[in-house]
Structure 1
Amino acid sequence: MHAVARGQRRWSNLSLAHRDGGVGIVRIDAPGKRNAMGRQFWPELRSVLDELESDGKTRVVVVTGAGDEAFSAGGDIASFAELTDLAAKRAFQRDCMRTFAAVEESPLPILAAVNGWALGGGCELAMACDVVFASERAVFGMPEAAVGLVPGFGVLRGPSVVGRQWTKLMVFAAERVDAQTALRIGLVQKVVPHADLLPATLRVAQQIAENAPLAVATGKELVNRGVDRGEFDHSTDALTVLQSTQDTAEGIRAFLDKRPPRFQGR
Protein backbone atom coordinates (compact mmCIF):
# COMPACT_ATOMS: atom_id res chain seq x y z
CA MET A 1 0.00 0.00 0.00
CA HIS A 2 1.16 3.50 -0.79
CA ALA A 3 1.31 6.07 1.99
CA VAL A 4 -1.49 8.60 2.15
CA ALA A 5 -0.85 12.30 1.46
CA ARG A 6 -1.95 14.74 4.16
CA GLY A 7 -2.29 18.49 4.58
CA GLN A 8 -0.97 19.99 1.36
CA ARG A 9 0.30 23.57 1.75
CA ARG A 10 1.41 26.01 -0.90
CA TRP A 11 3.96 28.82 -1.17
CA SER A 12 4.50 31.06 -4.22
CA ASN A 13 6.90 28.59 -5.90
CA LEU A 14 6.44 25.38 -3.89
CA SER A 15 3.87 23.07 -2.37
CA LEU A 16 4.37 20.54 0.42
CA ALA A 17 2.46 17.39 1.31
CA HIS A 18 3.20 14.98 4.14
CA ARG A 19 2.71 11.24 3.79
CA ASP A 20 2.27 8.65 6.50
CA GLY A 21 5.57 6.95 7.15
CA GLY A 22 7.68 10.08 7.47
CA VAL A 23 7.98 11.17 3.83
CA GLY A 24 7.53 14.78 2.77
CA ILE A 25 6.81 15.59 -0.89
CA VAL A 26 7.98 19.00 -2.07
CA ARG A 27 6.72 20.08 -5.49
CA ILE A 28 8.18 22.87 -7.56
CA ASP A 29 4.82 24.37 -8.32
CA ALA A 30 4.62 26.72 -11.30
CA PRO A 31 3.37 24.41 -14.07
CA GLY A 32 2.33 27.31 -16.30
CA LYS A 33 6.03 28.25 -16.55
CA ARG A 34 7.38 24.68 -16.68
CA ASN A 35 8.07 25.08 -12.96
CA ALA A 36 10.59 27.87 -13.54
CA MET A 37 12.36 28.94 -10.36
CA GLY A 38 11.42 32.51 -9.47
CA ARG A 39 13.49 34.55 -7.05
CA GLN A 40 11.30 33.44 -4.13
CA PHE A 41 11.95 29.78 -4.87
CA TRP A 42 15.37 29.77 -3.23
CA PRO A 43 14.47 31.08 0.24
CA GLU A 44 11.19 29.16 0.15
CA LEU A 45 12.94 25.82 -0.40
CA ARG A 46 15.32 26.54 2.49
CA SER A 47 12.35 27.42 4.70
CA VAL A 48 10.51 24.21 3.79
CA LEU A 49 13.61 22.10 4.48
CA ASP A 50 14.08 23.82 7.85
CA GLU A 51 10.48 22.98 8.73
CA LEU A 52 10.82 19.33 7.69
CA GLU A 53 14.11 18.91 9.54
CA SER A 54 12.64 20.24 12.78
CA ASP A 55 9.17 18.67 12.78
CA GLY A 56 10.37 15.44 14.43
CA LYS A 57 8.39 13.29 11.99
CA THR A 58 9.92 13.61 8.53
CA ARG A 59 12.56 11.01 7.67
CA VAL A 60 12.88 11.50 3.89
CA VAL A 61 12.12 14.28 1.40
CA VAL A 62 11.05 13.76 -2.22
CA VAL A 63 11.36 16.73 -4.58
CA THR A 64 9.44 16.68 -7.86
CA GLY A 65 7.73 19.01 -10.33
CA ALA A 66 4.05 19.87 -10.47
CA GLY A 67 2.18 18.82 -13.57
CA ASP A 68 3.25 16.33 -16.18
CA GLU A 69 5.81 18.22 -18.25
CA ALA A 70 8.70 19.50 -16.17
CA PHE A 71 10.70 19.00 -13.00
CA SER A 72 11.92 22.56 -13.57
CA ALA A 73 12.96 24.39 -16.72
CA GLY A 74 15.39 26.42 -14.58
CA GLY A 75 15.56 29.98 -13.39
CA ASP A 76 12.89 32.47 -14.39
CA ILE A 77 14.94 34.47 -16.91
CA ALA A 78 12.61 37.47 -16.69
CA SER A 79 13.52 37.85 -13.02
CA PHE A 80 17.22 38.11 -13.92
CA ALA A 81 16.47 41.34 -15.79
CA GLU A 82 15.28 42.85 -12.50
CA LEU A 83 18.77 42.52 -10.98
CA THR A 84 20.04 45.93 -11.98
CA ASP A 85 23.05 46.51 -9.71
CA LEU A 86 26.11 44.50 -8.71
CA ALA A 87 25.02 44.05 -5.08
CA ALA A 88 21.65 42.59 -6.12
CA LYS A 89 23.33 40.20 -8.56
CA ARG A 90 25.80 39.02 -5.94
CA ALA A 91 23.02 38.61 -3.35
CA PHE A 92 20.99 36.52 -5.79
CA GLN A 93 23.93 34.22 -6.53
CA ARG A 94 24.58 33.78 -2.82
CA ASP A 95 20.91 32.98 -2.26
CA CYS A 96 21.00 30.23 -4.88
CA MET A 97 24.19 28.74 -3.45
CA ARG A 98 22.79 28.80 0.08
CA THR A 99 19.85 26.74 -1.15
CA PHE A 100 21.95 24.14 -2.96
CA ALA A 101 24.07 23.88 0.20
CA ALA A 102 20.91 23.43 2.30
CA VAL A 103 19.93 20.45 0.13
CA GLU A 104 23.38 18.89 0.34
CA GLU A 105 23.81 19.55 4.07
CA SER A 106 20.31 18.59 5.21
CA PRO A 107 20.42 15.64 7.64
CA LEU A 108 17.39 14.30 5.76
CA PRO A 109 17.98 12.24 2.61
CA ILE A 110 16.52 14.12 -0.36
CA LEU A 111 15.37 12.21 -3.44
CA ALA A 112 14.61 13.87 -6.77
CA ALA A 113 11.75 12.49 -8.88
CA VAL A 114 12.43 14.10 -12.27
CA ASN A 115 9.21 13.98 -14.27
CA GLY A 116 10.25 15.87 -17.41
CA TRP A 117 12.45 18.85 -18.30
CA ALA A 118 15.28 19.46 -15.80
CA LEU A 119 17.18 22.40 -17.24
CA GLY A 120 19.51 24.96 -15.68
CA GLY A 121 18.68 25.24 -11.99
CA GLY A 122 16.42 22.19 -12.32
CA CYS A 123 19.36 20.07 -13.45
CA GLU A 124 21.55 21.58 -10.72
CA LEU A 125 18.94 20.83 -8.05
CA ALA A 126 18.89 17.21 -9.18
CA MET A 127 22.69 17.14 -8.79
CA ALA A 128 22.36 18.48 -5.25
CA CYS A 129 19.88 15.74 -4.25
CA ASP A 130 21.09 12.45 -2.79
CA VAL A 131 19.42 10.07 -5.24
CA VAL A 132 17.78 10.87 -8.58
CA PHE A 133 14.88 8.94 -10.09
CA ALA A 134 13.88 9.87 -13.63
CA SER A 135 10.88 9.30 -15.81
CA GLU A 136 11.71 7.78 -19.15
CA ARG A 137 10.62 11.17 -20.57
CA ALA A 138 13.12 13.20 -18.52
CA VAL A 139 15.61 15.49 -20.25
CA PHE A 140 18.54 17.18 -18.48
CA GLY A 141 20.59 20.17 -19.56
CA MET A 142 22.52 23.25 -18.47
CA PRO A 143 21.86 25.83 -21.22
CA GLU A 144 22.97 28.97 -19.35
CA ALA A 145 25.65 29.86 -21.93
CA ALA A 146 22.81 30.73 -24.32
CA VAL A 147 22.08 33.79 -22.16
CA GLY A 148 25.70 34.59 -21.32
CA LEU A 149 25.96 32.71 -18.02
CA VAL A 150 27.25 29.44 -16.58
CA PRO A 151 25.50 27.13 -14.08
CA GLY A 152 27.22 28.30 -10.90
CA PHE A 153 26.50 25.13 -8.91
CA GLY A 154 26.55 22.74 -11.87
CA VAL A 155 30.12 23.64 -12.83
CA LEU A 156 31.19 22.77 -9.27
CA ARG A 157 29.29 19.51 -8.82
CA GLY A 158 29.10 18.29 -12.42
CA PRO A 159 32.69 16.95 -12.51
CA SER A 160 32.10 14.71 -9.48
CA VAL A 161 28.65 13.60 -10.66
CA VAL A 162 29.05 13.07 -14.42
CA GLY A 163 32.78 13.71 -14.99
CA ARG A 164 34.74 16.69 -16.27
CA GLN A 165 34.21 16.09 -19.98
CA TRP A 166 30.46 15.53 -19.77
CA THR A 167 30.20 18.66 -17.64
CA LYS A 168 32.10 20.62 -20.28
CA LEU A 169 29.88 19.27 -23.06
CA MET A 170 26.72 20.16 -21.17
CA VAL A 171 28.02 23.62 -20.19
CA PHE A 172 29.84 24.64 -23.39
CA ALA A 173 27.36 23.25 -25.94
CA ALA A 174 24.20 23.21 -23.80
CA GLU A 175 24.03 19.50 -24.63
CA ARG A 176 20.79 17.95 -23.45
CA VAL A 177 20.78 14.35 -22.29
CA ASP A 178 17.85 11.96 -22.17
CA ALA A 179 17.04 9.75 -19.20
CA GLN A 180 19.00 6.71 -20.39
CA THR A 181 22.09 8.80 -21.11
CA ALA A 182 21.72 10.47 -17.71
CA LEU A 183 21.60 7.00 -16.15
CA ARG A 184 24.72 5.92 -18.02
CA ILE A 185 26.80 8.94 -16.99
CA GLY A 186 25.70 8.86 -13.34
CA LEU A 187 23.38 11.85 -13.19
CA VAL A 188 20.45 9.50 -12.55
CA GLN A 189 20.35 6.33 -10.44
CA LYS A 190 17.06 4.82 -11.67
CA VAL A 191 14.91 5.31 -14.79
CA VAL A 192 11.30 4.15 -14.54
CA PRO A 193 8.14 4.34 -16.70
CA HIS A 194 6.61 7.80 -16.50
CA ALA A 195 3.44 6.65 -14.75
CA ASP A 196 5.46 4.83 -12.09
CA LEU A 197 7.88 7.67 -11.27
CA LEU A 198 6.40 8.93 -8.02
CA PRO A 199 5.29 5.48 -6.76
CA ALA A 200 8.77 4.07 -7.47
CA THR A 201 10.47 6.98 -5.74
CA LEU A 202 8.14 6.72 -2.75
CA ARG A 203 8.81 3.00 -2.41
CA VAL A 204 12.52 3.69 -1.97
CA ALA A 205 11.79 6.71 0.23
CA GLN A 206 9.76 4.43 2.49
CA GLN A 207 12.61 1.90 2.62
CA ILE A 208 14.95 4.68 3.73
CA ALA A 209 12.42 6.03 6.24
CA GLU A 210 12.26 2.63 7.93
CA ASN A 211 16.01 2.67 8.62
CA ALA A 212 17.67 4.31 11.62
CA PRO A 213 17.50 8.08 11.00
CA LEU A 214 20.78 8.85 12.78
CA ALA A 215 22.57 6.20 10.75
CA VAL A 216 21.14 7.61 7.50
CA ALA A 217 22.07 11.18 8.46
CA THR A 218 25.59 10.13 9.45
CA GLY A 219 25.98 8.17 6.23
CA LYS A 220 24.99 11.23 4.19
CA GLU A 221 27.38 13.46 6.13
CA LEU A 222 30.30 11.07 5.67
CA VAL A 223 29.69 10.50 1.96
CA ASN A 224 29.58 14.30 1.46
CA ARG A 225 32.56 15.09 3.69
CA GLY A 226 34.80 15.92 0.71
CA VAL A 227 32.47 18.64 -0.58
CA ASP A 228 34.30 21.98 -0.69
CA ARG A 229 32.12 24.91 0.34
CA GLY A 230 34.93 27.36 -0.40
CA GLU A 231 34.21 26.88 -4.09
CA PHE A 232 30.85 28.59 -3.65
CA ASP A 233 32.49 31.99 -3.08
CA HIS A 234 34.61 31.62 -6.21
CA SER A 235 31.55 30.64 -8.26
CA THR A 236 29.49 33.52 -6.83
CA ASP A 237 32.23 36.01 -7.72
CA ALA A 238 32.55 34.65 -11.26
CA LEU A 239 28.79 34.63 -11.87
CA THR A 240 28.44 38.17 -10.53
CA VAL A 241 31.02 39.35 -13.06
CA LEU A 242 29.30 37.46 -15.87
CA GLN A 243 25.90 38.86 -14.97
CA SER A 244 27.35 42.34 -15.38
CA THR A 245 28.59 41.82 -18.96
CA GLN A 246 26.99 43.19 -22.11
CA ASP A 247 26.66 39.63 -23.41
CA THR A 248 24.47 38.57 -20.48
CA ALA A 249 22.27 41.63 -20.92
CA GLU A 250 21.96 40.78 -24.62
CA GLY A 251 21.25 37.12 -23.87
CA ILE A 252 18.42 37.98 -21.49
CA ARG A 253 16.94 40.52 -23.90
CA ALA A 254 17.11 38.00 -26.74
CA PHE A 255 15.45 35.33 -24.63
CA LEU A 256 12.61 37.66 -23.67
CA ASP A 257 12.30 38.88 -27.28
CA LYS A 258 12.37 35.27 -28.54
CA ARG A 259 15.19 35.92 -30.99
CA PRO A 260 18.77 34.61 -31.39
CA PRO A 261 21.29 36.53 -29.25
CA ARG A 262 24.12 38.52 -30.83
CA PHE A 263 27.07 38.00 -28.50
CA GLN A 264 30.12 40.28 -28.78
CA GLY A 265 32.43 38.76 -26.17
CA ARG A 266 32.25 41.71 -23.78
Structure 2
Amino acid sequence: MQNAVNSQLVIETIKNGVLTVQFNHAHYNNPFSDALESAVSYSLTKAEENPDVKAVIITGGIDRSFSVGGDFNEVKELKGGKEVEEWIDGVVGLYISSLRLTKPTIAAVDKYAIGIGFQLALTCDWRIATERCQFIMPELKHGIACTLGQYMLEKSLGRAAMMEIIYDSEAISIERCFKYGLINKVTKVEDLLEESQKLAERLANYPEVPFGKTKKVINESYIKGLQDVMENTKAVHRASFGAGHAQKFMKKIVGEK
Protein backbone atom coordinates (compact mmCIF):
# COMPACT_ATOMS: atom_id res chain seq x y z
CA MET A 1 0.00 0.00 0.00
CA GLN A 2 1.28 3.48 -0.83
CA ASN A 3 -0.10 6.81 0.32
CA ALA A 4 1.22 10.30 -0.43
CA VAL A 5 0.67 13.50 1.53
CA ASN A 6 1.71 16.70 -0.23
CA SER A 7 2.36 20.02 1.45
CA GLN A 8 4.03 23.12 0.14
CA LEU A 9 7.43 22.38 1.66
CA VAL A 10 7.51 18.64 2.35
CA ILE A 11 6.25 15.65 0.41
CA GLU A 12 5.59 12.60 2.56
CA THR A 13 5.17 9.16 1.02
CA ILE A 14 4.73 5.93 2.97
CA LYS A 15 5.31 2.51 1.44
CA ASN A 16 5.65 -0.80 3.29
CA GLY A 17 6.11 1.01 6.58
CA VAL A 18 8.85 3.29 5.23
CA LEU A 19 8.16 7.03 5.31
CA THR A 20 9.99 9.13 2.73
CA VAL A 21 10.30 12.78 3.71
CA GLN A 22 11.25 14.80 0.62
CA PHE A 23 12.22 18.46 0.89
CA ASN A 24 10.11 20.49 -1.50
CA HIS A 25 11.55 24.00 -1.54
CA ALA A 26 10.60 25.98 -4.64
CA HIS A 27 14.28 25.99 -5.64
CA TYR A 28 15.70 22.64 -6.75
CA ASN A 29 18.73 23.08 -4.46
CA ASN A 30 16.48 22.94 -1.37
CA PRO A 31 18.00 25.76 0.73
CA PHE A 32 16.86 25.54 4.34
CA SER A 33 14.56 28.49 4.93
CA ASP A 34 13.02 28.82 8.40
CA ALA A 35 9.77 27.46 6.98
CA LEU A 36 11.36 24.37 5.41
CA GLU A 37 13.33 23.72 8.59
CA SER A 38 10.12 23.82 10.65
CA ALA A 39 8.24 21.62 8.18
CA VAL A 40 10.94 18.93 8.18
CA SER A 41 11.26 19.01 11.98
CA TYR A 42 7.49 18.55 12.26
CA SER A 43 7.48 15.63 9.80
CA LEU A 44 10.26 13.85 11.70
CA THR A 45 8.56 14.38 15.06
CA LYS A 46 5.30 12.98 13.66
CA ALA A 47 7.18 10.00 12.24
CA GLU A 48 8.50 9.07 15.67
CA GLU A 49 4.98 9.19 17.10
CA ASN A 50 3.34 7.22 14.24
CA PRO A 51 3.26 3.44 14.90
CA ASP A 52 2.71 2.77 11.19
CA VAL A 53 6.13 4.25 10.38
CA LYS A 54 8.91 1.68 10.83
CA ALA A 55 11.76 3.53 9.08
CA VAL A 56 12.39 6.96 7.53
CA ILE A 57 14.16 8.11 4.36
CA ILE A 58 15.18 11.77 4.25
CA THR A 59 15.88 13.16 0.78
CA GLY A 60 15.88 16.22 -1.41
CA GLY A 61 14.55 14.11 -4.27
CA ILE A 62 15.99 13.03 -7.61
CA ASP A 63 17.60 15.76 -9.76
CA ARG A 64 17.36 18.05 -6.72
CA SER A 65 20.02 18.71 -4.14
CA PHE A 66 19.69 17.16 -0.70
CA SER A 67 20.21 20.73 0.52
CA VAL A 68 22.74 23.48 -0.13
CA GLY A 69 22.43 24.75 3.45
CA GLY A 70 20.80 27.85 4.89
CA ASP A 71 18.63 30.01 2.64
CA PHE A 72 20.88 32.98 1.83
CA ASN A 73 17.85 35.20 1.23
CA GLU A 74 17.14 34.88 4.96
CA VAL A 75 20.58 34.27 6.46
CA LYS A 76 22.10 37.37 4.82
CA GLU A 77 19.83 39.45 7.07
CA LEU A 78 21.48 38.20 10.28
CA LYS A 79 23.32 41.07 11.96
CA GLY A 80 24.91 39.41 14.99
CA GLY A 81 22.18 39.90 17.59
CA LYS A 82 19.35 37.87 19.11
CA GLU A 83 18.17 36.82 15.66
CA VAL A 84 21.35 34.75 15.35
CA GLU A 85 20.50 32.87 18.55
CA GLU A 86 16.99 32.14 17.25
CA TRP A 87 18.46 30.87 13.98
CA ILE A 88 20.82 28.50 15.84
CA ASP A 89 17.92 27.27 17.99
CA GLY A 90 16.02 26.34 14.84
CA VAL A 91 18.97 24.59 13.19
CA VAL A 92 19.81 22.55 16.29
CA GLY A 93 16.13 21.74 16.74
CA LEU A 94 16.10 20.27 13.22
CA TYR A 95 19.09 18.05 13.97
CA ILE A 96 17.64 16.89 17.28
CA SER A 97 14.30 16.01 15.66
CA SER A 98 16.24 13.59 13.43
CA LEU A 99 18.43 12.23 16.23
CA ARG A 100 15.40 11.54 18.42
CA LEU A 101 13.95 9.15 15.86
CA THR A 102 14.36 5.69 17.37
CA LYS A 103 13.48 4.18 13.99
CA PRO A 104 16.06 3.54 11.23
CA THR A 105 16.90 6.66 9.20
CA ILE A 106 18.51 6.82 5.78
CA ALA A 107 19.72 9.98 4.05
CA ALA A 108 19.29 9.60 0.27
CA VAL A 109 21.57 12.23 -1.25
CA ASP A 110 21.67 13.54 -4.82
CA LYS A 111 23.64 16.56 -6.07
CA TYR A 112 24.72 18.86 -3.20
CA ALA A 113 24.76 18.36 0.57
CA ILE A 114 26.27 21.58 1.91
CA GLY A 115 26.40 23.12 5.39
CA ILE A 116 23.08 22.45 7.13
CA GLY A 117 22.27 19.81 4.49
CA PHE A 118 25.59 18.05 5.14
CA GLN A 119 25.04 18.23 8.89
CA LEU A 120 21.47 16.91 8.71
CA ALA A 121 22.75 13.90 6.73
CA LEU A 122 25.20 13.25 9.58
CA THR A 123 22.27 12.72 11.96
CA CYS A 124 21.03 9.73 9.93
CA ASP A 125 22.00 6.09 10.54
CA TRP A 126 22.95 5.43 6.92
CA ARG A 127 23.83 7.60 3.94
CA ILE A 128 23.29 6.49 0.33
CA ALA A 129 24.51 8.91 -2.34
CA THR A 130 24.51 9.18 -6.11
CA GLU A 131 27.69 9.09 -8.16
CA ARG A 132 27.51 12.85 -8.73
CA CYS A 133 26.78 13.93 -5.16
CA GLN A 134 29.01 16.51 -3.49
CA PHE A 135 29.38 16.94 0.26
CA ILE A 136 30.86 20.34 1.17
CA MET A 137 31.38 22.18 4.47
CA PRO A 138 32.50 25.59 3.10
CA GLU A 139 31.61 27.82 6.05
CA LEU A 140 35.06 29.03 7.09
CA LYS A 141 36.13 30.29 3.69
CA HIS A 142 32.90 32.27 3.42
CA GLY A 143 33.17 33.96 6.82
CA ILE A 144 30.74 31.73 8.70
CA ALA A 145 31.71 29.96 11.93
CA CYS A 146 31.67 26.16 11.82
CA THR A 147 31.29 25.04 15.42
CA LEU A 148 28.20 22.89 14.87
CA GLY A 149 29.81 21.33 11.81
CA GLN A 150 33.03 20.79 13.76
CA TYR A 151 31.24 19.00 16.58
CA MET A 152 29.07 16.86 14.32
CA LEU A 153 31.92 15.86 12.02
CA GLU A 154 34.20 14.97 14.91
CA LYS A 155 31.43 13.01 16.64
CA SER A 156 30.55 11.14 13.44
CA LEU A 157 33.86 10.77 11.60
CA GLY A 158 36.69 11.60 14.02
CA ARG A 159 39.01 14.57 14.61
CA ALA A 160 41.35 14.10 11.64
CA ALA A 161 38.52 13.87 9.10
CA MET A 162 36.78 16.84 10.71
CA MET A 163 39.85 19.05 10.44
CA GLU A 164 40.47 18.14 6.80
CA ILE A 165 36.86 18.81 5.85
CA ILE A 166 36.29 22.15 7.58
CA TYR A 167 39.70 23.66 6.83
CA ASP A 168 39.75 22.50 3.21
CA SER A 169 36.20 23.83 2.71
CA GLU A 170 35.95 22.13 -0.70
CA ALA A 171 33.91 19.29 -2.21
CA ILE A 172 34.86 15.86 -0.87
CA SER A 173 35.65 13.23 -3.48
CA ILE A 174 33.73 9.95 -3.46
CA GLU A 175 36.96 8.16 -2.50
CA ARG A 176 37.42 10.42 0.53
CA CYS A 177 33.75 10.03 1.45
CA PHE A 178 34.29 6.28 1.75
CA LYS A 179 37.62 6.76 3.56
CA TYR A 180 35.95 8.94 6.18
CA GLY A 181 32.88 6.69 6.48
CA LEU A 182 30.73 9.61 5.37
CA ILE A 183 28.74 7.54 2.89
CA ASN A 184 27.84 3.87 3.08
CA LYS A 185 26.87 3.24 -0.52
CA VAL A 186 27.03 4.93 -3.93
CA THR A 187 24.33 4.28 -6.50
CA LYS A 188 23.18 5.50 -9.89
CA VAL A 189 20.89 8.51 -9.84
CA GLU A 190 17.89 6.55 -11.08
CA ASP A 191 18.39 3.87 -8.39
CA LEU A 192 18.78 6.16 -5.37
CA LEU A 193 15.29 5.97 -3.93
CA GLU A 194 14.83 2.29 -4.77
CA GLU A 195 18.10 1.35 -3.05
CA SER A 196 17.20 3.51 -0.06
CA GLN A 197 13.77 1.86 0.15
CA LYS A 198 15.30 -1.62 0.11
CA LEU A 199 17.69 -0.77 2.92
CA ALA A 200 14.98 0.95 4.96
CA GLU A 201 12.68 -2.07 4.64
CA ARG A 202 15.50 -4.40 5.73
CA LEU A 203 16.29 -2.33 8.80
CA ALA A 204 12.57 -1.91 9.56
CA ASN A 205 12.31 -5.69 9.90
CA TYR A 206 14.75 -5.77 12.82
CA PRO A 207 13.01 -6.33 16.17
CA GLU A 208 11.69 -2.89 17.04
CA VAL A 209 12.36 -2.67 20.79
CA PRO A 210 16.06 -3.61 20.88
CA PHE A 211 16.80 -1.51 17.79
CA GLY A 212 14.99 1.53 19.13
CA LYS A 213 16.47 1.27 22.63
CA THR A 214 19.98 0.82 21.24
CA LYS A 215 19.63 3.77 18.88
CA LYS A 216 18.29 5.96 21.68
CA VAL A 217 21.37 5.24 23.79
CA ILE A 218 23.69 5.81 20.81
CA ASN A 219 22.16 9.23 20.08
CA GLU A 220 21.80 10.47 23.66
CA SER A 221 25.42 11.63 23.83
CA TYR A 222 25.13 13.18 20.33
CA ILE A 223 22.11 15.23 21.41
CA LYS A 224 23.73 16.26 24.69
CA GLY A 225 26.86 17.35 22.82
CA LEU A 226 24.82 19.51 20.45
CA GLN A 227 23.03 21.11 23.38
CA ASP A 228 26.33 21.71 25.18
CA VAL A 229 27.96 23.39 22.17
CA MET A 230 24.97 25.66 21.49
CA GLU A 231 26.04 28.56 23.70
CA ASN A 232 29.53 28.69 22.20
CA THR A 233 27.97 28.36 18.76
CA LYS A 234 25.67 31.32 19.38
CA ALA A 235 28.57 33.44 20.61
CA VAL A 236 30.85 32.71 17.64
CA HIS A 237 28.03 33.16 15.13
CA ARG A 238 27.09 36.50 16.66
CA ALA A 239 30.71 37.55 16.23
CA SER A 240 30.93 36.13 12.70
CA PHE A 241 27.78 37.80 11.43
CA GLY A 242 28.65 40.95 13.34
CA ALA A 243 31.89 41.15 11.33
CA GLY A 244 29.87 41.19 8.09
CA HIS A 245 32.02 38.83 5.99
CA ALA A 246 29.28 36.23 5.54
CA GLN A 247 26.67 38.77 4.47
CA LYS A 248 28.92 40.13 1.73
CA PHE A 249 29.36 36.65 0.28
CA MET A 250 25.65 35.81 0.51
CA LYS A 251 24.53 39.07 -1.07
CA LYS A 252 26.91 38.42 -3.95
CA ILE A 253 25.38 34.96 -4.48
CA VAL A 254 21.79 36.25 -4.46
CA GLY A 255 22.73 39.18 -6.69
CA GLU A 256 22.62 42.07 -4.24
CA LYS A 257 25.23 44.82 -3.87
Determine if the alignment matches structure 1 residue 83 to structure 2 residue 78: yes
Deviation at 1:161, TM superposition (A): 2.1
Show the 5 A alignment for 1:66-81.
66-81=61-76
Q: Distance in 1 between matches of 2:106 and 2:243?
A: 33
Which of 4, 11, 15 is the aligned partner of 1:15?
A: 11
Cα deviations by residue, 1:178-200 (Å, 9 ceiling, x for unpaired):
33321221111111222211111
Q: CA RMSD in A?
A: 2.2
Structure 1 gap ranges (5+): 260-266
Deviation at 1:234, TM superposition (A): 2.9
TM-score (norm 2): 0.89
Secondary structure class of the residue paired with 2:244:
helix
Higher-helix-fraction structure:
2
Which of 247, 251, 255 is the aligned partner of 1:256?
A: 251
Determine if the alignment matches structure 1 residue 148 to structure 2 residue 139: no
Task: Tell me the percent identity.
Answer: 21
Q: Pick closer, same or farther for the CA change 1:24–1:257 going to 2, 3 Å.
A: same
Secondary structure class of the residue paired with 2:63:
coil
Cα deviations by residue, 1:102-159 (Å, 9 ceiling, x for unpaired):
2112122211001121111111011111111111111101111133213343211211
Q: Pick closer, same or farther for the CA change 1:245–1:156 going to 2, 3 Å.
A: closer
Q: Pick closer, same or farther for the CA change 1:67–1:103 going to 2, 3 Å.
A: same
Moved more, 42-51 or 193-202: 42-51
TM-score (norm 1): 0.86
TM superposition outliers: structure 1 runs of 4+ over 6 Å: none
Q: Distance in 2 between matches of 1:101 and 1:228?
A: 6
Moved more, 89-98 or 242-251: 242-251
Structure 2 gap ranges (5+): none
Q: Pick closer, same or farther for the CA change 1:126–1:246 going to 2, 3 Å.
A: closer
> What amino acid does structure 1 have at the position aligned with 2:179?
R
Show the 5 A alignment for 1:86-235.
86-227=81-222, 229-235=224-230
* Paired residues of 2:80 and 2:237 also in contact (CA < 8 A): no
Moved more, 190-199 or 230-239: 230-239
Deviation at 1:37, TM superposition (A): 0.6
Moved more, 31-40 or 226-235: 226-235
Deviation at 1:218, TM superposition (A): 1.3
Q: Which has the higher contact order (CA 8 A, sep 6+)?
A: 2
Cα deviations by residue, 1:32-58 (Å, 9 ceiling, x for unpaired):
251111112222222111212222200
Q: Pick closer, same or farther for the CA change 1:166–1:85 going to 2, 3 Å.
A: closer
> What amino acid does structure 1 have at the position aligned with 2:11?
S
* Paired residues of 1:148 and 1:242 also in contact (CA < 8 A): no
* Paired residues of 1:147 and 1:252 also in contact (CA < 8 A): no
Aligned length: 254
